Amino acid sequence: MPRTMAVSSGSVRLMSDVAPSQSAHATGRTRLARWLLEAEWRSQWGRAIVAVATIALGVALGYAVQLINSAAFNEFSAAARSLSGQADLQVRGAQPTFDEAWYPKLADEPGVALASPVLELDATVPGKNMPLKVLGIDIFKASQIAPDLIGVPASHSPMDTLADDAVFLSPAAQQWLNTGIGQHIGLLSGTASVPFRVAGGIVRARPGQRIAVMDIAAAQWRFGRLGKLSRVDLELARGVDRESFRRDLQARLGRQWVISEPRDVDSRTDRLSRAYRINMNVLALVALFTGAFLVFSTQALSVVRRRSQLAMLRVLGFTRGQLLRQILMEGALLGVLGSVAGLALGYALASAALHFFGSDLGGGYFPGVRPRVGFEPLPSAIFLVLGIGVSILGSLAPALEAARARPAAALKAGSEEGALAKLATPWPALVCLVVAGVLTQMPPVFEAPILGYIAVALLLVGGIALMPRCTAMLFTAIGRSRAGRGAGTTSALSLARLANAPGQASVAMSGVLSSFALIVAMAIMVASFRVSVDEWLEHLLSANLYARVAPGGDTGVLSLDDQAKMAAVAGIKTAAFTRTSQLTLDPARPAVVVLAREIDAADPGASLQMSGPVLPEAALRGATPAWVSEAMVDLYGYRLGQHVELPLGGRNRMLVVAGVWRDYVRQTGAIELRLADYRQLTHDTGATDVAITVAPGASVEQVMTALRALPFGRALEFSQPGEIRARSLGIFDRSFAVTYLLEAVAIVIGLFGVAATFSAQTLARSREFGMLRHVGVTRVQILAILAKEGGMLTALGIVMGFVLGFAISLILVFVVNPQSFHWSMSLHMPWLVLSLVAGVMLVASCATAVVAGRRAVSVDAVRAVKEDW
């Protein structure tokens, strides 16, 4: 019995069982709905599995990224807050340290019950590329306000907490330094390694938290910070309003001081990693978004294939509402299965990633923490709803069409294309494109490119919605142009099919178009970013050799005497020194980096990659120039020629913004000053880096050997421009590893979509192929027709996908990235990658069409025509 008759007779049989009572009626409806679901799954299980797998993959990637970042963020914030103990407020200077004479003044403030001084240093560790957090504390004050930070000395040496050579290490720090209690470690102070004795552990530290604690006076002396503090922790008296006290104290102290609450660390950490987290989550949802189109394709073709069956159900008493709910239930089932599988897979991926690759996905925002993934109800519910939602959304248009169809017309054979005729309406697509264009001109929301991502989604939806109209116009024009030139039989039939059934053709290509467009967009964005970073490094790395005191930390500094000795080494033509420090301008934001080096005010572009015009040296009129990064423009509103007040050297200094430069390292903002100006303003004569130009006739190796022979040579680490570029691009590739994975996922989804949709269409066209066989078309010719249809349709999808992907890449490059990371980049096209992907998709589509067609043409011609009852 034909499948249509089977469904109809089954429906009659179930309908007859339903009636006498309300409960029996409800039971009958439930049985019928379940029977229809089972029948559809049995007949189309392959395409259903593909749709479920796509949704599962999208949910898994998004959920894994969310779990990883959430675990790392929570652990990092908790570790940072633990350094503040029970303090109500923290008073810091705008610069890293301030004069300890302020400590008694703060302690004597009315309303302060307890004040605890802290010297916080990122100590440079020889042989390590990360610093060790060292806290110099007053044991007597800290024991009341931060008892977890107290060192635990041996029972026979209780006074080690005040010893000048004793340091107490957390378990993670002991493991990292490969040391233990009673052993010695060396930390750099300037260029000299200062030995410390590990006197014990710490009362309590977070897992993975690498910190050291010592007496504050010993820390000041050992690290050359005599008379300096980093912060003062305040515990307020009972009854004192914390917010009012903070506001009043800030007003009296001025901009030289930053008064924050311990919880502000969450805001700073959030702002530091927010853009990276949002971008990773959105990119992970690309697979889910593509899955929505695959569900739409699966459901639309399913509805078209069952058009007469669904009409028969209407004739037998099925209401429009019941039919609508039935088809949406089928889509929702795909979403439920995919989402549940995706949540399980995402949890496993997050656990594996944290175990093998660390917690930051290459972003480097959460060093020194060892988080564990945990089940999070709210994100789990959100991703579950997202997966089900996209499935229902993909099923909505086919369900509405099936419910609105007139049963008499739908029962007739050949009405399938009419079911998809509304897809050719261009107005909704044009509205999406116009709204997308408007959103690209809007500012970020909560410092995130939310509207930019919505514009990308609308552009994708609008472009795909225009596919039927473009398909009909293009293939009609091609068919007419070839009509007079005697086109071959198979070519003529292929063109006629594509021109007169654009709806089905467009449904088949929706998954291909969306996946290829996203592949193009991400490939262009990543290539543009990578090439821009490479060009930026090439511009900055103009010297032959770079040296610094053991990378990482702020205690490894070259003194003036060290600098003079380095500059006098034979074979060195010039030695340009740089001083790096930090400046806090907003307690809710991470600190801004201040870079001081030798810059020619008449030609700053020789040292920096400027992103716009610069202020001529004559226009400075004696003012101190400052060149700011693009992030300072977005975050703090700096503009060319603007006079800004910065807290430097214990006073507010007036500087003029002389230009804006591109910085791909510090997304929180950076300010460049001339080295002479910086030293005059701050009286800080140290240096952290040196760029060395080798004299003619000398070699880089000879200069490195001579520098290592200096008294402090063992503390220096050297890098050549090629090494720095290779290392930087390696970090870039690790940071975008998820993006590369998503590009591969999009390719796989696109190929799955081709296989699923062509298979469904060829099986639905069995009657058409049977009729062609009756009029003399051979099986080989039918397979050739399918191959040509698949090739031409995929070629059109690739061309439109490229145009659409290029438009999306413009949004990513010129809207999303500047709003996310506060830097600009130039556009670059990865032609080789795009050509290879396009070729693979084209060949795969033709092959899939032929393989799927072999089953359809294997049906006996007479039986195929008889099915058209």
Residues 306 and 451 in one domain: no
Distance, in Å, from the CA atom of 132 to the CA atom of 210, rounded to the nearest integer, reads 7
Residue 307 within a domain: yes
Range with the poorest average pLDDT among 118-122, 571-575, 708-712, 784-788? 784-788
Residue 867 within a domain: yes
Residues 173 and 231 in one domain: yes
User: At 64, which amino acid appears?
Assistant: A
Q: Supply the range of the domain harboring residue 663.
A: 545-719
Q: What is the pLDDT at residue 559?
A: 92
Q: What is the pLDDT at residue 262?
A: 78
Q: Are 764 and 862 in contact (CB under 8 A)?
A: no
Q: How many domains in the chain? A: 4
CA-wise closest residue to 432 among 401, 402, 467, 482: 467
Distance, in Å, from the CA atom of 65 to the CA atom of 850, rounded to the nearest integer, reads 39
Residue 119 within a domain: yes
Mean pLDDT along residues 350-357: 78
Q: What is the pLDDT at residue 74?
A: 77
Q: Are 297 and 757 in contact (CB under 8 A)?
A: yes
Q: What is the pLDDT at residue 14?
A: 41
Neighbours of 438 (CB within 10 A): 12
Strands 624-629 and 651-661: what pairing?
parallel
Residues 715 and 578 in one domain: yes
Give the global pTM: 0.79
Residue 843's alpha-carbon distances to 171, 742, 792, 831, 836, in angstroms, are 57, 21, 11, 18, 11
Residue 833 backbone phi and psi in degrees, to 5: -60, -45
Residues 447 and 595 in one domain: no
Distance, in Å, from the CA atom of 233 to the CA atom of 137, rounded to the nearest integer, reads 11
Q: What is the pLDDT at residue 294?
A: 67
Residues 837 and 865 in one domain: yes
Query: What confidence category does residue 1 fall into, taking pLDDT thresholds of 50, 70 and 90?
Result: very low
**Residues near 385 by Cβ (< 8 Å), separated by ≥ 6?**
none
SS3 call for 317? coil
Mean pLDDT along residues 155-177: 91
Single out the residue in 363, 378, 412 at which a domain terminates: 412
Question: 500-546 pLDDT, tens per residue?
Answer: 666 666 666 666 777 788 888 888 988 998 999 999 998 889 899 99
Single out the residue in 384, 412, 440 at which a domain terminates: 412
Distance, in Å, from the CA atom of 292 to the CA atom of 285, rounded to the nearest integer, reads 11
Q: 857 pLDDT exceeds 90?
A: no
Residues 66 and 209 in one domain: no
Residue 4 within a domain: no
Question: 193-218 pLDDT, tens per residue?
Answer: 899 999 999 988 888 788 999 999 99
Mean pLDDT along residues 63-79: 79
Q: 821 pLDDT exceeds 50?
A: yes
Mean pLDDT along residues 431-459: 88
The first and second tokens of residue 14, run together, are 């179930």
Q: What is the pLDDT at residue 765?
A: 67
Residue 387 within a domain: yes
Residues 452 and 310 in one domain: no
User: At 63, which amino acid appears?
Assistant: Y
Question: 592-625 pLDDT, tens per residue?
Answer: 999 999 999 889 998 899 998 999 888 888 889 9
Q: What is the pLDDT at residue 593?
A: 94
Mean pLDDT over each residue of the chain, to the nearest integer = 81
CA-wise closest residue to 233 among 80, 86, 77, 81: 86
Residue 448 within a domain: yes
**Residues near 484 by Cβ (< 8 Å), separated by ≥ 6?**
none
Residue 715's alpha-carbon distances to 129, 370, 528, 580, in angstroms, are 13, 30, 38, 18
Mean pLDDT along residues 392-411: 70
Residues 469 and 581 in one domain: no
Q: 40 pLDDT exceeds 80?
A: no
Residue 193, beta-bridge partner list: 188
Residues 559 and 514 in one domain: no
Q: 568 pLDDT exceeds 90?
A: yes
CA 603 to chain centre: 36
Residues 116 and 199 in one domain: yes
Residues 431 and 337 in one domain: no
Q: What is the pLDDT at residue 9?
A: 42
Between residues 853 and 74, the one the model is more confident about: 74
Mean pLDDT along residues 230-239: 93
Between residues 149 and 271, the one the model is more confident about: 149
Question: 543-559 pLDDT, tens per residue?
Answer: 999 998 877 778 889 99
Distance, in Å, from the CA atom of 604 to the CA atom of 602, rounded to the nearest integer, reads 6
Q: What is the pLDDT at residue 10?
A: 43
Residue 232's alpha-carbon distances to 85, 281, 415, 588, in angstroms, are 12, 38, 79, 18
Residue 20 within a domain: no
Residues 427 and 505 in one domain: yes
Residue 369 within a domain: yes
Q: Are 624 and 655 in contact (CB under 8 A)?
A: yes
Query: What confidence category does residue 732 fall into, taking pLDDT thresholds of 50, 70 and 90?
Result: confident
Using only C-alpha atoms, what is the Rg of the chain?
34
Residue 412's alpha-carbon distances to 311, 360, 770, in angstroms, are 10, 58, 17
Q: Report percent pLDDT > 90 for the chain.
A: 33
Q: Are 233 and 239 in contact (CB under 8 A)?
A: no
Distance, in Å, from the CA atom of 269 to the CA atom of 589, rounded to the nearest integer, reads 8
Single out the residue in 359, 394, 412 at which a domain terminates: 412
Question: 488-502 pLDDT, tens per residue?
Answer: 677 777 777 766 666
Q: Are 275 and 55 in contact (CB under 8 A)?
A: no
Q: What is the pLDDT at residue 642?
A: 93
Mean pLDDT along residues 709-714: 90
Question: 265-306 pLDDT, tens per residue?
Answer: 767 766 766 766 677 667 666 667 766 666 776 666 666 666
